[in-house]
Amino acid sequence: MTTDIADRIWGGFLGGAIGDALGEPVEFLSKEERLQRWGPSGVQGFVHSDGMGRFTDDTQMTLFTAEALILHSKTGEPLLTALHKAYLRWLVTQKFPSRISPDIYLHEGFLLDEPILHKRMGPGRTCLRALMEAADLGMPVVNDSKGCGGLMRVAPIGFWAALHPDQWDIRRIFTVASQSAQLTHGHPCGYLTAGFFAVLIRQVTLGRPLDDAVTETLQFLEKLGESGAPIRQFVLLAQEVAVKSLPWERAVQELGAGWVAEEILAIAVYLGLTAPDFRTGIIQAANHPGDADSVGAVAGQLLGAMRGRNMLIPGLADRLEGHSALMLAASEFFAVN
C-alpha cells in the first residue's frame, strides 16, 4: 500500500463524515428557514452551539460496512453475510429488534462499544424496516425503494478494493456493493447506484481522474441494459451540467431534488467534476435544498478520496462528535491490510 492510497482512503472516511455533519442541521429545513438562520451563504461550518459536528446514520452505517470488511478478512466468512450481520448490529444501536436472533451477530465486531454510534441520528425508515423484517442472512429485500440508504454506506468497499486491486476488478466491486445495498433497497436504482459509486471510489482512490473513472464505470453499466439506464442518464446529465459551468443553484435544478439515490449520485459526480477544492464542494453539498446530509456524505466521500486527507478543511475533523469512533474504524481497516 502506498502512502498516497492511504491518504486518499483517510480523506474519504473523514470527508464523508464532515459532509454528513455539515448537512445534518440543514436537512428538512425550508428555504425560508435556512435563509433566516444562516443567510444566503448558508452553513459554512459546524453550527451547533458547542461548535461540534454530528454525523448521522449515513456515517454510522459506513463504519459498520468497514467493520464487516475487517471481520471478513479475519474470519473468511462470506462477505455478504458479514455485511448483513454488521448492519444488524447497527440496528441494535438504534434500539430496534430483528427477526434474526442476535446470538448470531451480536458478539462480533468492535463498534458496539462506541457510545456515539448508539445515538439515533435520523435513521432511514427503509433501512430500519428491511433489517427488522429480514428472515435470513444475505437475502435481498423485497421492496421498491430507491432511496440512498444503500448508496451512502458502500464507500469502504471501494477503499478495500483499492487496497487489493489484483483481487477486486470492476465486476466484483460492482456486484458486492450492489448486493450490499440490496439487503435494504429493492429498486434497481437503489442498489445499482451503490455498485456504480463503489467502483468510482476505487478508481479515484487509485489516482484515476474522475472523468476517466466515470467513463469506465458507465461502460460497465451499459452491460446491464435497461436496469441501469436511469442511472446512466443521471450520470451523463451530471457530466453535461458540469461542462456548462452553471451556477450551483441552476445545477441543483437540473440534477434533481436529491431524495433518491440516482440524483444524489449525480450531484456527487457533478461536484467532483466542478469543485475547485474540497471546501467549495462540501459546502455546496451541505447546503443542498434536498437530502443535505446524504448529499454531503456521498460527495464528501468522493471529494475526500480524490484529494486526500491533507486537503480537507483544517480543524473540522477534530470537531466531529464521534471522531474517535471514526479513527478506530479506519485504523482497524488499515491494520488488517
Helix locations, the chain, DSSP H: 3-23, 31-38, 57-75, 79-93, 125-133, 155-163, 170-182, 188-205, 210-222, 229-244, 248-255, 261-274, 278-286, 292-307, 323-335
Q: What is the mean pLDDT of residues 94-99?
A: 97
At 3 the pLDDT is: 67
Q: How many residues make up the chain in this entry?
A: 337
**Is residue 2 very low, low, confident or very high in pLDDT (cuts 50, 70, 90)?**
low
At 69 the pLDDT is: 98
Residue 188 belongs to domain with CATH number: 1.10.4080.10
pTM over 0.85: yes
For the stretch 168-187, what's the b/e string if a residue is b when 16 or more beta carbons lie within 10 angstroms of its beta carbon?
A: bebeebbebbbbbbbbbbbb
In sequence order, what DSSP letters do the residues of 79-139 get, joined into one string? Answer: HHHHHHHHHHHHHHHTT---SS-GGGTTTS-SGGG-GGGGS-S---HHHHHHHHH--STTP
Q: What is the mean pLDDT of residues 75-86?
A: 97
| 223 exposure class (CB count in 10 Å sphere: 0-12, 13-18, 19+) | exposed
Q: Residue 56: name the closest of 146, 119, 127 by CA.
A: 119
Q: At what angle do helices 210-222 and 170-182 cross, to 10 degrees?
A: 70
Question: How far, in Å, are 83, 127, 171, 214 from residue 167 at the CA level?
Answer: 19, 29, 11, 21
Q: What is the mean pLDDT of residues 264-288?
A: 96
Distance of alpha carbon 216 from alpha carbon 192, whole angstroms: 15
72, amino acid identity: H
Q: What is the mean pLDDT of residues 55-61?
A: 98
Dihedrals phi, psi of 106, to nearest 5 degrees? -75, -25
Q: Which residues pair with 321 in a beta bridge?
A: 54
Question: How far, in Å, are 115, 221, 225, 265, 312 from residue 303 at the CA level?
Answer: 28, 22, 29, 13, 9
Range with the poorest average pLDDT among 35-39, 82-86, 206-210:
35-39
**Is residue 313 very low, low, confident or very high in pLDDT (cuts 50, 70, 90)?**
confident
Pairing assessment for the beta strands 53-54 and 320-321 based on DSSP bridges:
parallel
**Is residue 1 very low, low, confident or very high in pLDDT (cuts 50, 70, 90)?**
low
Q: What is the mean pLDDT of residues 322-326?
A: 95
In the chain, pLDDT over 90 holds for what percent of residues?
89
For residue 101, the tally of other CB atoms under 10 A from its CB is 9
pLDDT tens sequence across 113-148? 999 999 999 999 999 999 999 999 999 999 999 999
The number of domains in the chain is: 1
Look up the domain containing 253 and give its range.
Answer: 3-335
pLDDT tens sequence across 208-266? 999 999 999 999 999 999 999 999 999 999 999 999 988 888 999 999 888 899 999 99
At 37 the pLDDT is: 93
Q: What is the mean pLDDT of the chain?
A: 95
At 86 the pLDDT is: 98
Distance of alpha carbon 251 from alpha carbon 243, whole angstroms: 11
